[in-house]
Chains A and B, each alone.
Chain A
């Protein structure tokens, strides 16, 4: 299908800043990853993001386009996609900064699809929930700040936004669906580092497994893809050191870490 939008659609656009661009967008029905590409011609402004462009396509050209989005500032994790073969959050990826006259947009890899660009997150959360990691971190963010009356400890949300980009980028996940994967392993490292009620020994036992921290090939694609600087690959290496030192201590007759 080919379609054109009005020049300079609303979001992030003004009437005289339209740059013509083609978006090749992956289309499929639920459960069928074979799919095909539809091409849309639209005009974008310098600040137009890939998500803005896709929403404009759905609003103005094709209401059947299925995609996930929510916060528009990369804190909800819903609009992770593959754009020009790289894992990105569509809401903070500007179309013109990609530098190509045609922009290819695909769903994230290695996960089931609800349709078009929308991932079914059930499998992602199944891996994640196995860790049972806390959602809030209590380590202080601004250590030189004092605390006000009534606030016992500062807290904030964990950095991981559960977008699935790391699973999409990981070459091992692509070939071995049993692998726990970078997001869950990064969560495990956080849970051991700051347990907040969890049993770190149980988490360590879960990841000290051929399908856990030892399955990683150290390609570091996950850390490259992560939009929140979680560094899953670094976390996996840290987990290996913890697991190895725990084993060593067991061998020497010490208590398991």
Chain B
């Protein structure tokens, strides 16, 4: 491992799951790491997601790359974060004739993506999940699970800190320190404001990682570069009561209101998709809430009369050309941008992706960071078992 006191210092901007996983990866490779987050950790998109540990089945037909990423990371997360998941598998249920006609393509696509799918008859599905719509035609079982959306990422933060990283919530990046070079400009630090004290100060950096999720565009703008991130919000509805042990998905092409994720004593129904300009100003359209209830109750009729616990929106960070219309046509995979070709050295953006792939996103970003800083240490996060989330507060 690189000698830490002389190791390069990397500042990560953004305290969601991705930032936490990048901090963990880089700390394991011996770098000095400081992470800044303007609010509480996981207070952006990470905490708001529906808590699905993807099997990848949702993407198997149309986005094979994302499907393969998901099942690979699903297997890794089970090993490195035991105790952070409700591991009851998932069912994709076909309700209409059209759903049933889609089943062979769906099933074959799962197998082709290395997702261990199992065909389930109507009778077996109803025995497994008695609250399912009795009109279902057939189902497919896949290794979906439920994530604690905040406490899984906290384990990355806890482990990063144990390995020497400094984690600074309530610390907002407000400017980048830029130095002119022969090739253009170089980021050499971040100006931050500690919101708990009001103090503004500068943190020097050999490299800055932008892990802002849907805020990545705003953070990149501080360094004068543009990243093609499109915030794509979706509405989620949590109802009281648990109507299934397993994650229940609609077996059809990706659409609105196609999943019910059980979690503790709640059922979380998701989601819709549109494009927004500003992740700080999300709406919760009433018609989307009504659609979640009606689509959710198509799978589990009891949802129609369940008490609504909460409704909220979360902004996905989608990568793509601006000009897309719904967000659904944008890939759910992730991308790491080295901004050197844009004329800015010492600045890397990691965005896109989803909660299930946080570790893989971090590995990709850390590989780019280490290549730029000439750090030879390989990624070790595939096998490294994470500290419990409670260790973050120790």
Contact = CB atoms under 8 A, between A and B. Distances in A.
A103 to B, nearest CB: 18
A155 B116 CA distance: 20
Contact of B236 (A13, A14, A73, A155): A73
Chain A CB within 10 A, most for which of B91, B172, B242, B245? B245
A159 B265 contact: yes
A129 B48 CA distance: 26
A14 B284 CA distance: 9
Interface string A1-26: 00000000111111000000000000
Interface of A: 9-14, 29-30, 47, 49, 59, 63-76, 78, 91-92, 114-115, 118, 121-122, 124-126, 128-129, 134-136, 140-142, 144-151, 154-159, 161, 228-229
Given A66-B196, A91-B310, A157-B86, A145 B245 contact: yes
Q: Which 3 A-B pairs have the closest CB atoms?
A: A70-B47, A115-B196, A73-B310
B48 A70 contact: yes
Contacts of A125: 390, 393-394
A244 to B, nearest CB: 30
B47 A142 contact: no
B94 to A, nearest CB: 16
Contacts of A91: 310, 312
A129 B262 CA distance: 26
A82 B355 CA distance: 31
A66 B170 contact: yes
28 contacts: A10-B282, A11-B283, A12-B283, A30-B196, A59-B280, A64-B195, A66-B195, A66-B196, A71-B47, A72-B48, A73-B266, A73-B268, A73-B309, A75-B263, A75-B264, A76-B42, A78-B40, A91-B312, A115-B195, A115-B197, A125-B394, A134-B83, A148-B118, A148-B128, A149-B118, A149-B141, A150-B118, A156-B88
Interface residues of B, number: 65
B238 A157 contact: no
Contacts of B100: none
Given A78-B43, A122-B394, A150-B118, 19 more contacts: A9-B281, A11-B282, A11-B284, A30-B197, A63-B195, A64-B198, A70-B48, A72-B47, A72-B310, A73-B236, A75-B149, A76-B42, A114-B196, A141-B242, A142-B130, A145-B127, A148-B91, A148-B120, A154-B245
Contacts of A12: 283-284, 311
Interface in B40-66: 40-43, 46-48, 51
Contact of A150 (B84, B89, B394): B89
A73 B388 CA distance: 23
A158 to B, nearest CB: 8
Given A73-B268, A150-B89, A157-B263, A29 B197 contact: yes
B264 A156 contact: yes
Nearest to A49: B310
Contact of B284 (A47, A155, A159): A47
Contacts of B265: 159, 228-229
Given A63-B172, A66-B196, A129-B394, A10 B281 contact: yes
A118 B40 contact: yes
A70 B154 CA distance: 12
A63 B280 CA distance: 12
B72 interface: no
A255 to B, nearest CB: 31
B49 to A, nearest CB: 9
Given A151-B88, A151-B89, A70 B42 contact: yes
